[in-house]
Amino acid sequence: MTTVAERSESSILPYITATGPFSDPDYEPGQEVLDFLHTSRILVIGAGGLGCEILKDLALSGFKSIDVIDMDTIDVSNLNRQFLFRRHDVGASKAETAANFVMARVAGVTINAHCCRIQDMTHAYYRQFTLVVCGLDSIEARRWMNATLCQIVTDNSADPLALIPLIDGGTEGFKGSARVILPGVSACYECSLDTLGVRTVYPVCTIANTPRLPEHCVEWASVLEWPRHWGDVKFDADDPLAVDWMYATALTRAKQFNINGVTRSLTLGVVKNIIPAIALTNAVVAAACCSEAFKLVTGCTASLENFMMYSGDDSIFTYTFKYERKENCAVCGYDSKTFTAQRWWTLQDFVDHIAEQNEVQMKQPSLATARKNLYLRKPEALEKATRPNLSKKLCDLVEDGTEEVAITDPQLPISVRCKIVFAGSDERAEFVDV
């Protein structure tokens, strides 16, 4: 293999050799800054739309030692924006393909690719890094990463190197955001969880009885008909035959109710919860994130405080503001949250209610107090033992307003601590089922 000369660093040197009018007065430019930039280890989470851009941006910002984690493989529908992939790459690991491409294009950069889940890596692995940049499309993965970096700070409070900044980018269509999180210092991802919109959920009674939109027909096919026909067989959106079945079933339903607009594309959109994605929003958000990575590592100028939202469908709009830490944040706070429950609620009613709350967002919550387990999903024996509690009245299980309940989810390293205040009547009101 012939050695290719490394690229000139003239594009970053102005910030490393000289201080500027907006630099911190303590900033000392020079070789040490450049050395630190070169030796800093950066972890990139996600090698998709944002990830491809992030890897390119970091490689051309002077970072030379990068890791990337992504468990996904390349799909045809990625090619309209994930510019490190070609049609012949379809089916290959995103992390590996992206890493190899960038290393071949920019000599001197080393990128270690990991085709796995972030949950597969240990705290010791994450502690190696100077900084983490997230380009994910999942809230759950972001929460997991955020909680992990916050935990590392808590577990190593005497070690300043345990503070690993998290830079998080997100996009959806023409909209996006970039933020800087200093775990344990500034607002963490969980602190602002309640500002995220929750995915539209169609009520089951609408799907079952009064469909009006094509989406309702697709949900009927996927939520009700698929399990009825196929039992425990999991629906695979990448299997064309399965998608055909889903489409045909939704279409039959739509015809029966005179509803127009069920197409194969719409069917896929609903069952896969497809979010529109374009190259340029990823470019904007990734560049904003990597600009912050460069600023944080070099210290050449102040970094983002701490959130910038971007919107590009109506002209160009950015808005920068500071999220504040929350005292009752489940990850970096010390206080518990308070939820209000109706006196007539069973534990099951509360579990359903809590799972939907913006500041909790747990799909499979388990609940326990210091005295007893209220409901645990795992292990099986405990699930069986605690299941009868679900039909008991909540107010008979938990002390009103004083007892702390811990809510956990197997998917998240997070424990939401809360107190429950009871209101309303003991009896459930008469209710017309709509």
Partner 1 sequence: MPIDTQKYDRQLRLWATTGQQSLATSHVCLVNANTLGCEVLKNLVLPGIGKFTIVDAEKVTQDDLSANFFLKASSLGEYRAEAAKNVLLELNPDVAGEAVTAFRDDGAFWKQFSLVVVSNQFCELGSLKERLWKWQVPLMVVNSVGFYGSLRVFAAELTAIESHPANPFGDLRLDKPWPELQRYVDAISLPALDLVDHAHVPYVVILIKALKEWRKLHAGGAPESSQEKREFKEGIARMARNIHTEVNFTEARDVSWRACQVTETPAGIHELMDLSRTALHAAPERNRIFWVLVSALRLFQKEAGTLPLSGVLPDMASDTASYVRLQDIYRAKARLDRLRFKKHVAAVLLSLEEGGEVSDEVAETFCKNARTLFVARSSNTDDLNTELVEILTRGESPGAMQAEYEDEGLANLYVYLSLLANTHHYNTRASAATLPDLYLAVREVLGSVHIPAKLDQTLQEVVRAQNREFHNTSSLMGGMAGQEALKVLMAQYRVLDNCFVWDGIKSRSDKWKV
Q: Which of residues 71-90 bind partner 1 (CB under 8 A)?
A: 76-77, 79-81, 83, 86-87
The verdict on 10 binding partner 1 (CB under 8 A) reads yes
Of 258, 334, 380, 423, the one binding partner 1 (CB under 8 A) is 258
Site for partner 1, residues 100 to 129, rule: CB under 8 A: 105-107
**Is 172:285 a contact under the CB 8 Å cutoff?**
no
The verdict on 208 binding partner 1 (CB under 8 A) reads no
The verdict on 345 binding partner 1 (CB under 8 A) reads no
Q: Which stretch binds partner 1 (CB under 8 A): 32-40, 288-296, 338-346, 377-385?
A: 288-296
For helices 94-105 and 49-59, the axis angle rounded to 10 degrees is 30
Q: Which stretch binds partner 1 (CB under 8 A): 140-148, 151-159, 181-189, 311-319?
A: 311-319
Residue in the block written with tokens 């240990």: 122
What tokens were used for 265?
């594309």
Closest among 98, 100, 103 to 82, alpha carbons compared: 98
Query: For partner 1, what does the binding mask look like between residues 150 and 189, x meaning CB under 8 A?
Result: -----------------------xx---x-----------
- Residue 44 neighbours by CB under 8 Å, 6+ apart: 51, 54, 55, 58, 66, 67, 68, 69, 132, 133, 134, 135
Torsion on CA atoms 23, 165, 192, 349, rounded to nearest 10:
180
CB of 108 to partner 1, least distance (A): 10
Which helix (H) or strand (E) segment is 321 a member of? strand 317-321
Question: Looking at 188, 191, 205, 300, which residue is catalytic?
Answer: 205
CB of 283 to partner 1, least distance (A): 3
CB of 297 to partner 1, least distance (A): 13
Q: Which stretch binds partner 1 (CB under 8 A): 37-45, 206-214, 242-250, 324-332?
A: 206-214
Q: Which is nearer to partner 1, 4 or 116 (CB)?
A: 4
Task: Please give the Cα distance from 83 to 98 (Å, whole number).
Answer: 9
Task: Please give the Cα distance from 348 to 352 (Å, whole number).
Answer: 6
Q: Which is nearer to partner 1, 109 or 374 (CB)?
A: 109
**Is 66:95 a contact under the CB 8 Å cutoff?**
no
Of 7, 127, 377, 393, the one binding partner 1 (CB under 8 A) is 7
The verdict on 320 binding partner 1 (CB under 8 A) reads yes
What SS3 class is residue 201? coil
Question: Is 329 labeled as catalytic in the residue annotation?
Answer: no
CB of 341 to partner 1, least distance (A): 18
Of 123, 212, 322, 384, the one binding partner 1 (CB under 8 A) is 212
Distance of CA 240 to the CA centre of its chain: 28
What DSSP assignment string belongs to 355-372? HH-TTT--SS-EEEESS-
CB of 376 to partner 1, least distance (A): 34
